[in-house]
Structure 1
Amino acid sequence: MPNAKGWIVATALLAVASAVPGVGMTTRALAAEKTRIVAAENFYGDLAGEIGGEHVSVTSILSNPDDDPHLFESSASTAKALADAEIVIYNGADYDPWMDKLLSASTNPDRRTIVAADLTGRKSGDNPHLWYAPATLPAVAAALEAELEKRDGAHAAAFKQNLARFDASFAALMKQVDAIKSKYAGTEVTATEPVFGYMAEALGFKMLNYEFQVATMNDTEPSPSQVAAFEKSLADGSAKVLFYNSQVTDETTKRLLRLAEENKVPVVGVTETEPAGKTIPSWFGGQLHEVEQALAGLHK
């Protein structure tokens, strides 16, 4: 999960009003009359833009799909954006612990925080990749719509309409999930990290080598027995699909990818950041399509 290095420097620079947004931050049409929203991750930022439309300005802190979110370091521009925000959205469950620290250093009684983990009953120690859990994004969207109505009642009808549109598009994704589950529930799969874990569960898959994944996520060395079990699941064909975090490809991951290729195990890359040019439906839908293609190829 992203570490908290550099947050002290960032908080010390909160008062730098002229800070320029740095690399890794994207901003939508900042304007004084718009509700200012900061999202820790760009998929929550995309969601905020969908619900708020032209009546909000959104800054996403983690926004570059080519960067490893685990190596994130906050900056003066991050601190400045949070200091000015009226609504802040972040993941929680220890995925972005630097947010709590930055927010505590910049108190604002009028600022509202929306934490995905709090909305979905997740806590420290749970798999923190909450956005892949089907309940998460609709819960965040509903909480955000309610808060925008409070702050900008004149545009309540637009917010409600935008929420309904998002819910409909997400429901279509869940139909895609249900269709895959109806065909392939019980399929054994594995992954280098638990990024796609909640979605794999929703698809009805049986996840192998979870302890290995947690060790990798936490930057600890998997045990020899965990490594051996993982390699065996690829070599003997018990794992039908290998999911990997395409933003984090260390030597261990590369070795497992080679082993999957040698044993003709389909590989599906997933990301912790919404890719450029994608929306939540196209991002999730694309990954689900890859999963379906991989499994269909095994059953020809």
Structure 2
Amino acid sequence: MIPNPGRPRLRRSALALAAVLSAGAALAGCTSMPAATMTVGSGASATLSVVASTDVYGSLASAVGGDQVAVTSLIDSPTKDPHEFLASARDQLAVKDADLVIENGGGYDDFLPQMVDASGASPVVVSVAEVSGYPAEGLNEHLWYDVPTMERLVDELADRFSDLDPEDAPVFTANATSAKGQLAALAATEDDLAESYRGQRFLATEPLALYMLDAIGLVDATPAGLQDAVERGAEVPPDEFLQAIELATNGTVDLVVHDTQTPTAQANALVENAKTAGTPTVALSETLPEGEDYFTWMKANLDRITEALAR
């Protein structure tokens, strides 16, 4: 598998930092406010408080921690754009009270380390980018689409939870083993798809699922400037946009993949042109659909890709 498919994303760090500082200043008058954007696994037996930047990592933390952890996910809806997150006082309070914080890293969720700094607290911080072992330079930060990294994350969470709550270490270890079994099933599906579709070409409006598509053996035919521009909300250079339209409509690519949470007029036009030409398209998201956990979501993503490739 190619370690770093894709290119880094430019971030609106100054905006995020301003929101963090504003939320932190409001804490004095908000200490009685509930500190949960989305909380799972928070029964009476929960002993650890966990904050995750998105519900993707919140789901995995819940899978490993079970009833022993209360998990708050700051971004918990596919209608929210992770790149435009603004922290509230409730969010900042959740971070202040956390025993462990999970960030994606790699520039994806810079707001979370800023929130930790503003809180004055010292939770254990798990950075998925660091856990991945991939070089920081050129990192594709959409690491949750990379099954090997998620396997390493599950082990890391089990270890850190065990450090914080040694009495429940056997529970965390058993839960991690179960989670890795489900991840292994996802990897096996990727391997099966590679046997059938290796070498087929795709075009992606963003580098969202490049780890998964690479594991399936697909070849990225996307013009170099298209993904960068779409991620930044900028105009795709005209020559590259026309090239992408041609690729998506003339049978050169077998699949067009797009991100439902960061649409632009050009990305939407590209997808509509592909559909009109009969090129299969797949819509993927950056966070969990309502009612899904990480494992059912990724299985559904693979099912959609399978259906599209089989057309």
Normalised by the length of structure 1, the TM-score is 0.93
Q: In the alignment, does 2:51 pair up with 1:38?
A: yes
The answer to which of 7-16 and 275-284 deviates more is: 7-16
**1:229 pairs with 240, 243, 246, which one?**
243
**8 Å contact kept, 1:274–1:280:** yes
Give the residue type in structure 2 aligned to 1:13: A
Deviation at 1:108, TM superposition (A): 2.6
Q: In the alignment, does 2:231 pair up with 1:217?
A: yes
Aligned pairs for 1:124-203 within 5 A = 125-203=138-216
**8 Å contact kept, 2:79–2:261:** yes
Give the residue type in structure 2 aligned to 1:120: S
Give the residue type in structure 2 aligned to 1:58: V
Distance 2:133 2:257 in 1: 26
Deviation at 1:31, TM superposition (A): 5.3
Q: Could you list the runs of 5+ residues in structure 1 that have no partner in the other structure? A: none
Give the residue type in structure 2 aligned to 1:270: L
CA offsets 1:62-106 (integer angstroms, 9 cap, x no match)? 101122222211111111000000000010000001112111122
Question: Aligned in 2, Cα 1:285/1:212: closer, same or farther, shift over 3 Å?
Answer: same
Question: Aligned in 2, Cα 1:242/1:39: closer, same or farther, shift over 3 Å?
Answer: same
Distance 1:193 1:167 in 2: 28
In structure 2, the residue matched to 1:99 is 112
Deviation at 1:130, TM superposition (A): 1.0
Q: In the alignment, does 2:272 pair up with 1:253?
A: no
Distance 1:125 1:188 in 2: 22
CA offsets 1:205-248 (integer angstroms, 9 cap, x no match)? 11122431122112232211211111110121111111011122
Give the residue type in structure 2 aligned to 1:216: V
**8 Å contact kept, 1:10–1:74:** yes
SS in 1 for 2:289: coil
Give the residue type in structure 2 aligned to 1:288: L
Runs ≥4 residues deviating over 6 A: none
**8 Å contact kept, 1:192–1:244:** yes
Distance 2:276 2:163 in 1: 57
Question: Aligned in 2, Cα 1:218/1:249: closer, same or farther, shift over 3 Å?
Answer: closer
CA offsets 1:18-59 (integer angstroms, 9 cap, x no match)? 23347xx20122658520000001010010111010111000
In structure 2, the residue matched to 1:277 is 291
CA offsets 1:165-193 (integer angstroms, 9 cap, x no match)? 00001101110000001111111001111
SS in 1 for 2:50: strand
Give the residue type in structure 1 aligned to 2:255: V
SS in 1 for 2:105: coil
Distance 2:46 2:248 in 1: 55
SS in 1 for 2:49: strand
In structure 1, the residue matched to 2:38 is 26
Deviation at 1:3, TM superposition (A): 3.6
Distance 1:261 1:42 in 2: 30
How many residue pairs were aligned?
294
Give the residue type in structure 2 aligned to 1:77: R
Deviation at 1:124, TM superposition (A): 5.7
**8 Å contact kept, 2:46–2:70:** no
Q: Could you list the runs of 5+ residues in structure 2 that have no partner in the other structure? A: 1-8
Aligned-residue Cα RMSD (Å) equals 1.7
**8 Å contact kept, 2:236–2:266:** no
Give the residue type in structure 2 aligned to 1:293: E
Deviation at 1:286, TM superposition (A): 0.7
Give the residue type in structure 2 aligned to 1:237: G
Normalised by the length of structure 2, the TM-score is 0.90
Give the residue type in structure 1 aligned to 2:56: F
In structure 1, the residue matched to 2:276 is 262
In structure 2, the residue matched to 1:286 is 300
SS in 2 for 1:105: helix
Distance 1:89 1:176 in 2: 27
